């Protein structure tokens, strides 16, 4: 005689793709959920990227439970968990109101945290009694990386730690497969062990060479006007680069503005120097929100339609002018 077996819980996790904090938050979240709610659950990951007309298709929420970490809020009724820390966390006022009305206790937001991973670890400990001491290194580095809390630009750019080397692989990897493999490894393995994986090293070595080349490219095409450094990478085929390179090259700068092209968007990036000689006074997320973008007070971005290069250059010029004041 055969007996029916219980169905394995399937949990869909949407995370900020190609982002160390997004990957770390996804890894920490699954450990938390597995320990406190659903032992033996199957976790299915889906990387999210900011797009000009951001939307959440219904088929993204196909799990028995569905979560978003380190990414914008969705009012989809099948969303079970949400953790985020970005100032620009809501696509519209209706989503913000939907969040305020939620009483589940499982949709949580605090822009005071510099990383989603640390926020998630804090909530898991304080509200649910979950701790994972073996993930302390992951939480610490996620907070350093996403909060731009490196000791200096040299530490951020010269990639001497396992964490900064993983950042390069996660941010520059084509597709999401390797990022999701890293998420699985992050659940139980040290960053040094992950970096030493042959698959990671095979990706890292050519990416590191390209990283060194990108330093020289940005050096050549950048102009500094007072406190603002501007560079346009749209004609140079350089889609990804370390956002700390400008401060490594121009240590007395306060802000950077850049234009770049990705396979699915045209992007204006706006940042501030964590080691600036004078304190930044502009809220960059608020500036980017005026153009449909967002981010954090100290770093933001604007995603425009693919091919909208002239618009991107116009927006960048306006922001440079504002920051110069």
Mean pLDDT across the chain: 94
Structural domain harbouring 109: 10-198
Q: Which residue matches tokens 């819980």? A: 9
Give the model's confidence band at 223: pLDDT under 50 very low, under 70 low, under 90 confident, else very high.
Answer: very high
For residue 190, being part of any structural domain is answered with yes
For residue 119, being part of any structural domain is answered with yes
For residue 121, being part of any structural domain is answered with yes
Residues 186, 249, single domain; the answer is no
pLDDT value, residue 53: 66
pLDDT value, residue 3: 41
Asked if 210 contacts 245 with a C-beta cutoff of 8 angstroms, the reply is no
Residues 41, 73, single domain; the answer is yes
Given 164, 198, 232, the domain boundary residue is 198
pLDDT value, residue 2: 44
For residue 206, being part of any structural domain is answered with no
For residue 207, being part of any structural domain is answered with no
Question: In sequence order, what are the residues at sequence separation of 6 or more whose Cβ sits closer than 8 angstroms to the Cβ of residue 21?
Answer: 70, 115, 116, 117, 142, 145, 146
Given 135, 163, 198, the domain boundary residue is 198
**Alpha-carbon dihedral sign for residues 207, 211, 216, 221:** positive
Question: Can you give the CATH number for the domain in which 194 is found?
Answer: 3.90.1640
For residue 310, being part of any structural domain is answered with yes
pTM of the model: 0.85
pLDDT tens for 251-282 read: 999 999 999 988 778 999 999 999 999 999 99
Burial letters 85-97, b for 16+ CB under 10 A, else e: bbbbbbbeeebee
CA distances from 226 to 116, 230, 247, 321 (A): 33, 11, 14, 11
For residue 208, being part of any structural domain is answered with no
Backbone angles phi, psi at 267, to 5 degrees: -125, 135
Residues 85, 125, single domain; the answer is yes
CB atoms within 10 A of CB 141: 23
Quote the DSSP letter at residue 134.
G
Give the model's confidence band at 4: pLDDT under 50 very low, under 70 low, under 90 confident, else very high.
Answer: very low
Residues 186, 292, single domain; the answer is no
Distance, in Å, from the CA atom of 306 to the CA atom of 325, rounded to the nearest integer, reads: 30
Residues 161, 268, single domain; the answer is no
Give the model's confidence band at 56: pLDDT under 50 very low, under 70 low, under 90 confident, else very high.
Answer: very high
Distance, in Å, from the CA atom of 286 to the CA atom of 302, rounded to the nearest integer, reads: 11
Question: In sequence order, what are the residues at sequence separation of 6 or more whose Cβ sits closer than 8 angstroms to the Cβ of residue 288?
Answer: 88, 268, 270, 294, 295, 300, 301, 302
Residues 113, 240, single domain; the answer is no
Dihedral Cα 69, 112, 274, 179, nearest 10 deg = -10
One-letter-per-residue 3-state SS of 72-133: CCCCCCCCCEEEECCCCCCCCHHHHHHHHHCCCCCEEECCCCCCHHHHHHHHHHHHHCCCCH
Number of domains in the chain: 2
Residues 177, 317, single domain; the answer is no
Residues 190, 230, single domain; the answer is no
pLDDT tens for 146-193 read: 999 999 999 999 999 999 999 999 998 888 999 999 999 999 999 999
For residue 302, being part of any structural domain is answered with yes
Residues 93, 29, single domain; the answer is yes
Residues 84, 153, single domain; the answer is yes
Residues 234, 181, single domain; the answer is no
Question: Can you give the CATH number for the domain in which 232 is found?
Answer: 3.10.310.30
Q: Where are the beta strands (DSSP E) in 142-252?
A: 223-225, 228-232
CA nearest neighbour of 65 among 78, 46, 55: 78
Residues 271, 139, single domain; the answer is no
Structure tokens at 228: 């603002």
Radius of gyration of the chain (CA): 20
């Amino acid at each position: 005689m055969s007996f029916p077996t219980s169905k394995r819980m399937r949990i869909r996790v949407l995370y900020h793709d190609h982002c160390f904090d997004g990957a770390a938050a996804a890894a920490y979240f699954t450990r938390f959920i597995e320990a406190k709610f659903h032992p033996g659950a199957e976790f299915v990951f889906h990387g999210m990227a900011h797009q000009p007309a951001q939307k959440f298709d219904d088929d993204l929420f196909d799990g028995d439970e569905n979560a978003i970490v380190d990414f914008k809020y969705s009012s989809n009724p099948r969303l079970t968990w949400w953790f985020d820390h970005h100032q620009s966390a809501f696509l519209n006022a209706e989503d913000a109101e939907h969040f305020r009305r939620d009483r589940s206790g499982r949709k949580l937001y605090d822009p005071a945290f510099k990383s989603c991973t640390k926020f998630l670890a804090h909530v898991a400990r304080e509200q649910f009694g979950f701790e994972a001491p073996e993930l302390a290194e992951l939480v610490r580095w996620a907070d350093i990386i996403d909060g731009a809390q490196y000791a200096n630009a040299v530490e951020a750019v010269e990639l001497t730690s396992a964490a900064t080397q993983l950042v390069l692989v996660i941010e520059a990897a084509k597709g999401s497969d390797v990022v999701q493999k890293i998420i699985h490894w992050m659940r139980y393995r040290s960053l040094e062990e992950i970096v030493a994986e042959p698959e990671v090293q095979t990706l890292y070595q050519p990416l590191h060479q390209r990283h060194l080349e990108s330093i020289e490219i940005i050096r050549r095409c950048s102009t500094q006007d007072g406190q603002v450094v501007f560079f346009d990478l749209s004609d140079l085929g350089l889609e990804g680069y370390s956002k700390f390179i400008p401060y490594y090259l121009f240590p007395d700068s306060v802000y950077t503005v850049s234009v770049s092209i990705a396979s699915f968007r045209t992007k204006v990036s706006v940042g501030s120097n964590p080691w600036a000689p004078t304190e930044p006074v502009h809220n960059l997320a608020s500036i980017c929100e005026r153009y449909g973008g967002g981010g954090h007070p100290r770093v933001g971005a604007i995603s425009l339609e693919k091919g909208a290069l002239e618009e991107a250059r116009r927006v960048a010029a306006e922001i440079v002018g504002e920051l110069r004041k």
